[in-house]
Amino acid sequence: MMHCPYCKSPAHAKSSRYMSEQVKERYHQCTNLDCSCTFKTNESITKVITSPPPPETVEEVAPIPVKERQTLGRYGSSFRITH
């Protein structure tokens, strides 16, 4: 939140737009109805304090082969030869 440059009351941000990847222009309006000053500010990145860690390299593990179910012979053969 910014304060009005004239009356020092809080000012609400009404809209904003990026000027570049690291600079944003923001429009504010004073909340004091007797003042109602409208002004714009620039917000920028000046220094990165902590950067994200590099992505972890994960070793690819070969998937465990799935053993197929053995159903042959469980209930007997349907191709049984009868004489």
- The pLDDT tens digits of the residues spanning 42-55 come to 999 999 999 999 98
Q: pTM above 0.75?
A: no
**pLDDT band at residue 67, thresholds of 50, 70 and 90?**
confident
Amino acid code (one letter) for 28? H
- 9-27 pLDDT, tens digit per residue, is 999 999 999 999 999 999 9
- Taking CA atoms, 63 is separated from 40, 50, 60, 66, 79, in Å, by 57, 37, 9, 9, 36
